[in-house]
């Protein structure tokens, strides 16, 4: 799998994360995603809690987000206590012109999708390098370890080239926060994201895939330091 977006600078991510964090209002219940761009949003929400007395409760999508939120001083809650979120902020690996999104670079897309669908407003934060006319990024798919070979067979039948994500060349597979494996599947250019999303959801052994179709707005950190909202 080729490494993408390797040239994005952290200042673009920080600009996008900070802009999204400014949407958080007093009394909101928010969802916090995973990854290096969302990390800036979490840090900024934490700063506002500590310095401005912002009153907020957050649901996290991963151990990474939980650790960052605790470190930043963002008070946490759960979806069991607050099943409806006012706003969720999360990163993405690629965004197309219709705001279809591929996520899961951090292996957290299952919880991220639950949080995104629990939110009244789902904001994606990215740097400019993630924006593309069409989706052609590999699709991360969380799969039950027991079903991994069956899942690969089904992905090949759908025209994909699957690869189990490894922690490194010498280590074993990446294991998600839910104890599952991640299979990254190349589909080339994805002509119909909704159709592929539906087909992947019906594959036996699939827990969740990384195609998100419910993004409300994308905050894009630009090279010149500005933030473009699409
Ligand atoms: C984690 C994700 C991340 O949000 C996505 O990979 C983007 O991460 P980053 O902001 O570090 O580029 O989907 O599962």
Out of 2-6, 15-19, 180-184, least confident range:
2-6
Is the pLDDT reported for residue 3 higher than 60? no
Query: ipTM of this predicted complex?
Result: 0.98
State pTM to two decimals: 0.94
Supply the pLDDT for residue 25: 98
Is the pLDDT reported for residue 52 higher than 80? yes
Atom of ligand 1 nearest to the CA of 33: 4
d(CA 108, ligand 1 centre) in Å: 8
> Which of these is catalytic: 112, 133, 142, 217?
112
Supply the pLDDT for residue 38: 98
Is the pLDDT reported for residue 5 higher than 60? no
37-47 per-position pLDDT tens digit:
999 999 999 99
85-128 per-position pLDDT tens digit:
999 999 999 999 999 999 999 999 999 999 999 999 999 999 99
Is the pLDDT reported for residue 9 higher than 80? no
Active site residue 112: yes
Read off the pLDDT band of 8 (50, 70, 90). Answer: low
Work out the mean pLDDT of the chain and round it to a whole number.
95
Is the pLDDT reported for residue 72 higher than 90? yes
Supply the pLDDT for residue 7: 55
Segment 40-60 mean pLDDT: 98
DSSP for the chain, please give it.
----STT--HHHHHHHHHHHHTT--TT-EEEE--SHHHHHHHHHHHHHHHHH----EEEESSHHHHHHHHHHT--B--TTT--SBSEEEE--SEE-TT--EE--TTS-HHHHHHHHHHBSSEEEEEEGGGB-SSB-S-EEEEE-GGGHHHHHHHHHHTT-EEEE-BSSSSS-B-B-TTS-EEEEEE-SSBS-HHHHHHHHHTSTTEEEESEE----EEEEE-TTS-EEE-
Is the pLDDT reported for residue 59 higher than 90? yes
Atom of ligand 1 nearest to the CA of 103: 13
């Amino acid at each position: 799998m080729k490494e993408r977006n390797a040239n994005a600078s952290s200042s673009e991510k920080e600009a996008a994360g900070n802009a999204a964090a400014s949407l958080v209002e007093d009394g909101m219940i928010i969802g916090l995603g995973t990854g290096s761009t969302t990390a800036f949003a979490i840090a900024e929400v934490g700063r506002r809690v500590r310095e401005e007395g912002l009153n907020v409760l957050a649901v996290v999508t991963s151990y990474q987000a939980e650790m960052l939120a605790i470190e930043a001083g963002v008070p946490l809650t759960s979806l069991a206590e607050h099943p409806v979120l006012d706003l969720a902020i999360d990163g993405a690996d690629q965004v197309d012109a219709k705001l279809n999104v591929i996520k899961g670079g951090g292996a957290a897309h299952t919880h991220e999708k639950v949080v995104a669908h629990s939110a009244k407003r789902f904001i994606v934060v990215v740097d400019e390098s993630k924006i593309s006319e069409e989706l052609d990024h590999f699709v991360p798919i969380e799969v039950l370890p027991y079903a991994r070979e069956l899942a690969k067979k089904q992905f090949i039948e759908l025209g994909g080239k699957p690869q189990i994500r490894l922690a490194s060349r010498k280590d074993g597979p990446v294991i998600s926060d839910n104890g599952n494996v991640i299979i990254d599947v190349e589909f080339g250019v994805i002509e119909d994201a909704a159709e592929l999303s539906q087909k992947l959801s019906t594959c036996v052994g699939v827990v969740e895939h990384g195609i998100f179709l419910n993004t409300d707005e994308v905050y894009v950190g630009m090279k010149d330091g500005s933030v473009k909202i699409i």
